[in-house]
Every structure is written in C-alpha cells, then in structure tokens.
Amino acid sequence: MDEIKITEMKNEKEIDFLRNKKSFNYTYDKATIDSLKKHFQLKDSLYLIAKKGAEFVAFCSIDRGWWEDNFFFIREILVDPYFQKLGIGKKLMGRCIEHAKNKKATGVVTETAFKNSPMRNLCENFDFKEWENPQWKEGVTYKLLF
C-alpha cells in the first residue's frame, strides 16, 4: 500500500500535472494553471503536492502575490474528493502558514466563495478572520495576522 506523500514542487513543469484535477465544481483549467505558473516564479513561493504513488491527492500553494506589503496569499487548495475529510487540507494549509511565518510575513490572506463552507470552516479553524476587502466583494477574504 502506497502512503500519501507531500512534496514541494521544484520545477514549473510539475504544475502541468494539476491540469483538469477537480473537486466539487472546481477544476484546474488553463487559466488556473497559467496563473500558478506565473506566481511560481515569485520569490518564496511554496507549492505543495500530495500523492499516493502516482495518484493525485491534493495541492496547496502560497505566494507573495498579494498587494499589501509582506503578506502571503494562499492561492489554491484542493483535495481530491476521495481523500477529503482526512485532515489533508488542514495539513497542507498548516505547512503553508508555517512557511509564511518562517519568512517573517506580516500575515496570510486567502479568498473563497460565500457558499464554500468546507473552505470557510478550514480557514476559521486556523483563526483566519473575515476582512473587508476594498478590491473584491464577490466572496469572503480571510486574513490571518501573525
């Protein structure tokens, strides 16, 4: 039996593996892959992938592509439906937050749809607080200050 292993992506080409991976009604389409490739280039980006053997389990990324100084942004988190509710999302998000802390960030931001209760619960578990985002009103922006 293969175990679930979490590794850091070291090469932009590895991002292609995520194409068309999906969960609920969310799919990693071309626009998402392109955005991930662009933000991978930023200093201090961390892209974590979880696999069981060759099988996709989950992905989470954090980068400095946020407009407020010294904040990190959790750009993507997705756990394959078969592996959900096993603590994998929590583990990946925890590692991304730790990474930002180690880089002496002011805090971490992420955004999600109003109705995305799994993601909202996950954020609130990490003590993210809802933040009034002047640039985005179509969902919830969460902020975690260190």
Does 23 participate in binding ligand COA (rule CB under 6 A)?
Answer: yes
Does 122 participate in binding ligand COA (rule CB under 6 A)?
Answer: yes
Does 19 participate in binding ligand COA (rule CB under 6 A)?
Answer: no
Shortest Cβ 140–ligand COA spacing (Å)? 9
Does 27 participate in binding ligand COA (rule CB under 6 A)?
Answer: no
Does 94 participate in binding ligand COA (rule CB under 6 A)?
Answer: no
| Number of residues counted as binding ligand COA (CB under 6 A) | 21
Cβ closest to ligand COA, residue 69 vs residue 138: 138
Cβ closest to ligand COA, residue 106 vs residue 116: 116
Cβ closest to ligand COA, residue 96 vs residue 119: 119
Closest CA to 59 of 86, 95, 89: 89
Does 61 participate in binding ligand COA (rule CB under 6 A)?
Answer: no
Does 57 participate in binding ligand COA (rule CB under 6 A)?
Answer: no
Does 118 participate in binding ligand COA (rule CB under 6 A)?
Answer: yes
SS (H, E, C) the chain: CCCEEEEECCCHHHHHHHCCCEECCEECCHHHHHHHHHHHCCCCCEEEEEEECCEEEEEEEEECCCCCCCEEEEEEEEECHHHCCCCHHHHHHHHHHHHHHHCCCCEEEEEECCCCHHHHHHHHHCCCEEECCCCCCCCEEEEEEC
Closest CA to 93 of 121, 117, 68: 121
Cβ-closest residue to ligand COA?
89
Does 144 participate in binding ligand COA (rule CB under 6 A)?
Answer: no
For the record, the structure tokens of 72 come out as: 């990190």
